[in-house]
Amino acid sequence: MTVYTFLVNKITVGVLGASGYAGREICDLVTRHPCMELVFASANSRAGETIRAAGRSISLIATDEAKLDSAGLIFSALPHGASASWVQAAAAAGAKVVDLSADLRPGSGSTSCNGTTVPYGLTELTRPLLPGADVVANPGCYPTAILIALAPLLARSLTVKGATINVSAASGVTGAGFTPKPELMFAEVAEDFRAYAVGNEHRHLNEMRAVVSEMGGDNDILFTPHLLPVARGILATITVPVKESLAQPLSLWRELYRDEPFIEVSDTMPSLREVVHRNVVRMSVTTAANVRQPTLIIVAAIDNLMKGAAGQAVQNANVMFGLPEIAGLPA
């Protein structure tokens, strides 16, 4: 669907970290957005270089040189640790800010910026907190897929108290960012498949634990990520012990997400091809056979750079500014 929304003055937008994978994707979405206009894009070591976004050449300035007060909206796609101080400065300069880093997310240790609590931008689940917010913490890519998939069970208190939710998930290589690493070279990744951060210590766990707990779940999460030899996409297989067998498990998901333009509940198991370059979470659910404890298996797929990063960031900005939520986003 095309959204025709015209503002007399477009919202001026700055992107910090525009040379990275997530930042480039945001530049592309902003350049195509009917109500937004890119006024600066910044980089660190690649300042002075040019990127292409939506067919346009965009010059990258040094982040230190960005005129924060020239933008009504700033996306920070800086690494965690480096982002929070820039988010603070951008908000103090008067911009609304969407932070893609983990710095202000639940479980990070601080969800406050300039004395105000920063809402978590898992749009479908936290939408009422976003209009009027000055700063929003955009979720991590794995947490987006996993928490959206779990929410219908948590909303109905159907997970078994104290039980472990098991998540085996795989991400494309852009999930690791643009910084070169030997283990991410083409010849190391192509035609191979491996687990990483094995031992339940991935940095996204704090965020998922905090949000599951906020949603009323009393569960451990056992999360094992894998590296997929593709550029983009996440597929998560989530195994959840539940209190009772459900005759029609999919109906729970269909009911909660009935009116959501970016959530697809499918009869068939999702695959990456169905979601890549789209701002959607696509998922399906089935009952596990041959186990004593009633158990559901949820499979969820997203594009880590779109619904898992830039797309959800723009979706959150649309809600913050009262624009149609789907404006400028590939459904």
Ligand X SMILES: NC(=O)c1ccc[n+]([C@@H]2O[C@H](COP(=O)([O-])OP(=O)(O)OC[C@H]3O[C@@H](n4cnc5c(N)ncnc54)[C@H](OP(=O)(O)O)[C@@H]3O)[C@@H](O)[C@H]2O)c1
Q: Which residues are catalytic?
A: 141
Whichever of 140 and 328 has its CB closer to ligand X, that residue is 140
Sites for ligand X among residues 114-173 (CB under 6 A) = 140-141
Pure H helices in the chain: 21-32, 83-92, 123-126, 141-155, 186-189, 205-214, 249-256, 311-320
Whichever of 130 and 296 has its CB closer to ligand X, that residue is 130
Whichever of 85 and 293 has its CB closer to ligand X, that residue is 85
Whichever of 158 and 232 has its CB closer to ligand X, that residue is 232
Reduced to 3 states (helix: H, G, I; strand: E, B; else coil), residue 159 is strand
User: In whole angstroms, how close is the CB of 21 to ligand X at the nearest point?
Assistant: 4
Q: Does 63 bind ligand X (CB under 6 A)?
A: yes
Q: Does 64 bind ligand X (CB under 6 A)?
A: no
Measured CA distances, 106 to 84, 85, 214, 275 (Å): 14, 17, 9, 26
Q: Does 304 bind ligand X (CB under 6 A)?
A: yes
**Quick one: which segment of 78-86, 157-165, 213-221, 287-295 binds ligand X (CB under 6 A)?**
78-86
**Quick one: which segment of 20-28, 235-243, 249-257, 275-283 binds ligand X (CB under 6 A)?**
20-28
Sites for ligand X among residues 172-201 (CB under 6 A) = 174-175, 177-179
Structure tokens at 104: 């202000």
**Quick one: which segment of 67-75, 162-170, 249-257, 304-312 binds ligand X (CB under 6 A)?**
304-312
What residue ranges in the chain does DSSP mark as E strands?
11-16, 36-43, 50-53, 56-59, 61-62, 73-76, 96-99, 112-113, 116-117, 135-137, 164-171, 194-195, 220-227, 234-241, 263-265, 281-287, 295-302
# binding residues, ligand X (CB under 6 A): 32
Whichever of 119 and 152 has its CB closer to ligand X, that residue is 119
Q: How far apart are the first and last CA of the chain?
A: 8
Q: Does 266 bind ligand X (CB under 6 A)?
A: no
Number of CB atoms found within 10 A of residue 191's CB: 6
Burial 294-327 (b: 16+ CB within 10 A, else e): bbbbbbbbbbbbbbbbbbbbbbbbbbbbebbbbb
Q: Does 46 bind ligand X (CB under 6 A)?
A: yes
Q: Does 225 bind ligand X (CB under 6 A)?
A: no
What residues line the site for ligand X (CB under 6 A)? 17-23, 43-46, 63, 77-80, 82-83, 100-102, 140-141, 174-175, 177-179, 304-305, 308-309
